[in-house]
Amino acid sequence: MMATRYSTLLLFCISILPLYAQTDLSDKLRTLEEQRAAIEEQGKRITARVDSVKLAIIRNDLQRTGLPKLEAGDEVIVHPGHMLVYSEKHEQPKWTAHIAVPDLITGSLARIDSFLPDPLVKTGTAVTADYWYSGYDRGHMVPSADMRWTYDALLGTYYYSNISPQVADLNRGKWADLEDWGRRYVYYSKKRLFIVTGPVLRDGLPTMQKADRKNEVSIPEYFWKVIADLDSAEPKAIAFVMSNAKQDLPVISYAVSVDSVEKMTGYDLFPALDDEVENRIESMSETAPWYGEGDPSAGEVPPLKAPLPKGMFNSAQAKYHVGKTVTVCGTVVSSRTTVKAKAIYLNFDTMSPNEDFYATIWQNNGVNFSYDPEKELLHKKVCVTGKVTMFDEIPRISINNEKEVVLYEDAIAAP
């Protein structure tokens, strides 16, 4: 009887051991999950503090170096990631200033798309009723994508104090490409960019004529953006100007000097810089220094300035002549032979995959050349003649022989 009771007790103990073990493991898991949650929460708090300090540094550097000279009546509005002066007369920013930092490379915050009046502008800003169904986009002067690494700075870009009316084809086209162009430099250089942006404002500009508008918002004719690398041993700057309309040329075609923007707007954009540095960087307009090591766009050049002589067309104009036999001229910035396609590709002015036009020499036509076109035409200005066709939405001309390729200097000199 005792043996039976002992066996029963032993079996009972053995049967409940897994339950105790399971309970112990569950408690252990719960404890670890609570610890992980606490660590994650602490990480969030530390990240917020780090971002707060980074934004404070940005504001300090903007105030010390990156703001245009203030004029009578100007009041600087300070947001977490940018600063601006608001034009009550035109109901949009006179200019905005911010610093694009390498944090934007890994920033992953989504667009907010909740536009709000700016509570910091004492006179009030434009409102949604001024823009809604107006026929104009709400164009960011400080791009939201430059602030996607921290929510407070991102939110600040959606105040109407940062918004100006832009034609949709500009805002969603070349203006967006220009913003990408600046971020490309940050991506490859891992350096900060000081950026000042604004509309060209003047008396007599038309306003958006919405029946339910609350404010008279001027419609600018032009927009400008100044980009400066002030942290490098050799500081540099460049500016861009685009009209408020659809633009077809590559971004670098709109590059100008900072001096020209100052003449256009009347602003003194970098008054805090040493005079020698200011004078030197404000005269720059070359885009080549803005392509660093590893940048696949390095080597691109603006299309030849239109109109070209003798009815020729540049690479940006080729898309308007699809189906026609014409002469297209440009700089061969890259060339390559593909075994699969059995052809030589000559990219004009811009690099693949962003080319606006390219020429093709099929393998079977290679015998019609007395030289190697892949090597001999690289980095030269040439004109090709043939029928413009489209492939993957990119215009091209297929060249049959070397007579259809002429150096640009020879083409314009020919009678």
Q: What CATH number did the domain enclosing 330 receive?
A: 2.40.50.140
On whether both 174 and 217 belong to a single domain, the answer is yes
Q: Provide the strand spans (E) within 50-156.
A: 76-78, 82-87, 92-100, 137-140
Whether residue 233 is contained in a domain is answered as yes
Residue 309 main-chain phi, psi, to 5 deg: -70, 160
Verify that 286 and 325 share a domain, yes or no. no
Quick check: is 28 in a domain? no
Q: How high does pLDDT run on average in the chain?
A: 92
383 belongs to a structural domain: yes
Is 111 part of a structural domain of the chain?
yes
pLDDT greater than 60 at residue 71: yes
Together in a domain, 213 and 93: yes
- Same structural domain, 328 and 234: no
Residue 145 is assigned to a structural domain of this protein = yes
257 and 205, same structural domain? yes
| Same domain assignment for residues 329 and 253 | no
Distance in angstroms (rounded) separating the CA atoms of residues 234 and 172: 33
pLDDT above 90: percentage of residues in the chain: 81
pLDDT value at residue 28: 87
% of the chain with per-residue pLDDT over 70:
94
Per-residue confidence band for 44, with pLDDT thresholds at 50, 70 and 90: confident
pLDDT for 9? 52
pLDDT confidence of residue 26:
86
Contact assessment for residue 95 and residue 220, using Cβ atoms and an 8 Å cutoff: no
What pLDDT, on the 0 to 100 scale, is given for residue 4?
60
- Span 356-366, pLDDT tens digits: 999 999 988 98
Rounded Cα–Cα distance for residues 21 and 39 (Å): 27
Are 164 and 284 part of one and the same domain?
yes
Q: Which domain holds residue 81?
A: 62-290
Q: Which residues are CB-neighbours of 87 under 8 A, at least 6 positions away?
A: 93, 94, 201
Residue at a domain's end among 222, 256, 290: 290
Among 262, 290, 318, where does a domain finish? 290
Residue 179 lies in a domain: yes
> What is the count of structural domains for the chain?
2
Supply the pLDDT for residue 103: 95
18 within a domain of the structure (yes/no) = no
Whether residue 139 lies inside any domain: the answer is yes
